Amino acid sequence: QVQLVESGGGLVQAGGSLRLSCAASSRTFTGYAMGWFRQAPGKEREFVAAISWSGGTTYYADSVKGRFTISRGNVKSTVYLQMNSLKPEDTAVYYCAADERGVRAVVAAHDIGSWGQGTQVTVSS
């Protein structure tokens, strides 16, 4: 099983930026697609963005298109979420996810193989 550790959350004013990081630890972390989800208080967890193993394919939720960018590091076991033009409605706990079945499996969020513990993002108005 893959262990995922997120970092980079915090408090920011509306219009500001944050960069989340997620590092995966596994002896055999090859071929995993990765993604980000978020859960606001009183709401269900929702998809934010996903990226294929190669980094060549990305998907975004409509609510974050044009503002958020997902990318993989030089070490492919790391994924980033650059969040710009943040809005109060982006406030949530952000979770990293990984699945060896590919990027569409991450987007579908069905029985995802591995989740991180979450990092809080708070956007003040």
Which residues does residue 122 pair with via DSSP β-bridges, in sequence order? 11
What is the pLDDT, as a whole number, of residue 31?
Answer: 86
pLDDT at position 15 is: 98
Instruction: Give the H or E element holding residue 114.
Output: strand 114-115
Residues of the chain with pLDDT under 50: none
